[in-house]
Amino acid sequence: MLTSLHIKNLALVEQLDIDFSAGLNTVTGETGAGKSVILGAIKLLLGERADKSLIRTDASKAEISAIIELGSIPFLKNLAEKILENAGIEADESGQIILRRVISPSSSKNFINSTPTSLATMKDLGKCFIDIYAPGEQQGLADNSKQRFLLDRYGNLGKNLETVKAAYEKLRVLEEEKENFHNEVPDRGELEILRYQFKEIKDANLQKNEDETVNLEYNQSAGAKELMESSLKAQDLISGDDNSIINSIQFLTRQLQEMASIDETNAGPFLDTAETLSEGLNDLSRDLDSYTNRLNLDPENLAFLEERMSIIQQMKRKYGPELSDVFTYAAKLNEKISKADKFEDLYDELLANIETAQKDFNKAAATLSKKRHGVTKGLASSISEQLKDLGFKSSEFTIEISQTKESSTGFDHIEFCFAPNAGEGTKPIKDIGSSGEISRVMLAVKSVLAKIDQVPVLIFDEIDANIGGIVATQVAKKLVSLGKEHQIFCITHMPQVAAGGCTHYRVEKNVKNGRTFTEMVLLENEDRVEEVARMLGGTDISSVVRSHASELLASTI
């Protein structure tokens, strides 16, 4: 629900901070008091383009913000979170959405939860929560996709719709595959090139990570002679002649043995260290000898390695850059060649799959269409009954279904149509010119679909245009009833409607210090009686009119 609204320096509003309640909120006031400014502020938060002329005289900018509580409806929460996620906006953990716009002479800045955003995102988010029915506003139920959605929900056709959607998606994927099929199959000249490339890679007989292993082995083979010479010199230093390191260590050991025989406690550790050095040198000498024997000085092997390195580098340059890329490219070549070799069979199989998918879609869409036709009469009849209560005694409401281009929702075009007077012939809701008529039609539709329509906030303006008496009372009753399922805002001139509100606000225009201000105040107790009395009796309010106003407010509508 819409819980609060803040307006600053917009038209004649200097500053307004107001909280709203659930149920029916009624807004009244003299003609020209500025009720349209309040409605206009909400429209701006729903993505309507701003005009710099809206900025209050002598103010540098105008600011509007509102807080929307997501509530506990999973469908709305998931939808809102998806829109926010797509826009890169983090959802508030408390379940609030804060819409804000700042309008200056040079620009308009838009924010959702303090994050800058586009008007398109504000519009997408706003229409999930708020429907406005006012002069020139024919959104919501006047939209054919919305009408289809409501008809399907009324008929509990969700499962059928999912079946159609799945069949359509499968068909779409296959048709896209068909469009790309010829592009993926090479012509004769290209096929010869692909065969040559595939054969070249295959003949190279490449192995996984072979570039690394061959390079390592080549480096070892190329340096084998130098490595052998160094290894032999090292062995000679260790044990080669009388001046070798081992002979010197042996001499050292004998000296330390003599010292240990005299002073075993202090010289003994020296002897242990010398013996450890001697053992380590012997181990090193044996390891060097083994290493020397393993070195490969085979010239033929070196030439082989050089050739493999050349082949590998050539393949990487042509089909790489990495060896793994060469394998990937070879796999793609093989797939294209195989598809070309089996072109006729594969294409026939694809066409057969498309034909089957088309039949599945047609069957599912036909079933859905049949069920839609089956529920239209009941829904249209219920709405017609509601319209009679709202003053359209000889009106006609119909739901027409015609075939259109197939889509994920089937092949039905849904059109809600209405004729306010007998013999006129129905026409689509979106073509209704009278704001009073369109608002009452929407009220009738909403009354029937209250429990299944998931837009939580409804705003009605001029719903009571050109009506009075019993019809006004019926309108009030329906708004009160609708307020049990939705949050309702109704700008009204009818006392019956105003008296039915859970909350009542008056918009008034005042002059202070030579400046004009539009204000919106919450009416309670006697103030509310006075306002309803004004609506009943005009400027000359008698005690009888006040008594009537009190009775109207006290009565259960």
d(CA 354, CA 358): 6
Picking from 341, 365, 398, the residue at the C-terminal end of a domain is: 341
User: What average pLDDT does this structure show over 521-534?
Assistant: 90
Q: Which residues share a beta bridge with 17?
A: 6
How confident is the model over 126-136, as a mean pLDDT?
A: 76
What are the pLDDT digits (tens) for 494-506? 898 889 889 999 9
| Strand, helix or coil for residue 230 | helix
Q: Which domain holds residue 546?
A: 524-557
244: left (phi over 0), alpha (psi -120 to 50) or beta: beta
Among all chains, which residue has been given the structure tokens 């379940």?
95
pLDDT of the residue at 504:
94
- Note whether residue 301 is domain-resident: yes
pLDDT of residue 503: 93
Query: Structure tokens of 424?
Result: 């006129």
CA separation for the pair 174, 353 (Å, rounded)? 8
In a domain, 56, yes or no: no
Orientation angle between helical segments 343-389 and 323-341, nearest 10 degrees? 90
pLDDT higher than 90, residue 406:
yes
Q: Answer whether residue 335 is part of any domain.
A: yes
Q: Which of these three, 274, 308, 341, is where a domain ends?
A: 341
Task: Judge whether 39 lies within some domain.
Answer: no
Does pLDDT of 343 surpass 80? Answer: no
Tell me whether residue 260 is in a domain: yes
- Contact between 105 and 154 under an 8 Å Cβ cutoff? The reply is no
- 36 vs 309, which has greater pLDDT? 309
pTM exceeds 0.85 for this model? no
Dump pLDDT digits (tens) for 181-192. Answer: 767 666 677 778
Lowest mean pLDDT among 76-90, 347-361, 457-471: 457-471
Q: What is the pLDDT of residues 269-316, one digit of tens each?
A: 998 898 899 899 889 988 988 888 877 667 777 788 889 999 999 999
Beta carbons of 386 and 394 less than 8 angstroms apart: no
**Average pLDDT rounded to a whole number, residues 436-441:** 74
Q: Is residue 483 situated within a structural domain? A: no
d(CA 530, CA 523): 9
**Average of per-residue pLDDT values in the chain:** 86
How many domains are there within the chain? Answer: 2
- DSSP H helical segments within 74-223, as ranges? 74-86, 119-129, 144-154, 158-184, 188-204, 210-222
- Quote the CA–CA distance of 2 and 487 in Å, as a whole number: 8
Last residue of some domain: 302, 321, 341? 341
Q: What is the pLDDT of residue 375?
A: 94
| Lowest mean pLDDT across 47-61, 194-208, 290-304 | 290-304
The verdict on residue 319 lying in a domain is yes
Lowest mean pLDDT of 325-334, 366-375, 457-466, name the range. Answer: 457-466
Q: Is residue 193 part of a domain?
A: yes
